[in-house]
Chain A
Amino acid sequence: KQEVTQIPAALSVPEGENLVLNCSFTDSAIYNLQWFRQDPGKGLTSLLLIQSSQREQTSGRLNASLDKSSGRSTLYIAASQPGDSATYLCAYQGAQKLVFGQGTRLTINP
């Protein structure tokens, strides 16, 4: 069974902190792994995509790593801001579809 687990389910931190969101997956035959942001009542915004042959990707204050052998990915957010408050979803690309975790609900307190 294909599964993606995200820990923690929810996280609340003060503004300015660096934080790490975790994602683990059971399927070793992934093509890529993506991190998305979802705001309440909105669609998904792709943040970072890591190909299966890559180890990490960076975009601004975001850094995502991928370790296929252990089935883990992390999203690192530096110097968090209130605007970072959202649900963060991790998903891997299987043959025809994306398999999503249940998300981490992040709240950054001013």
Chain B
Amino acid sequence: EADIYQTPRYLVIGTGKKITLECSQTMGHDKMYWYQQDPGMELHLIHYSYGVNSTEKGDLSSESTVSRIRTEHFPLTLESARPSHTSQYLCASSQTFSRGALGVYYGYTFGSGTRLTVV
């Protein structure tokens, strides 16, 4: 079954450690995204990619970095974790659908998320 997978689901790590959050999708989607969700539930786009070797920063500045070497894989890395990085991180991918004369829209699929706690 086509899906999008995030690992780990939960991670507790000490300050200063390097971490990588994994995101993989089996749907062949070109577009992928990382969102950070704050405790108040609001979603903030931190990174996106429109294809292999393409990465862009999102609306919220983040100290994390991403890479897109393969279509199916979009990992997020924090070189030195801090307590301020504690958050829920959601990965997504999207597929283009036609609306005829109105253009297109992107249908998103989200992973289950990684809850990161930095102590």
Q: Are A and B genuine complex partners?
A: no
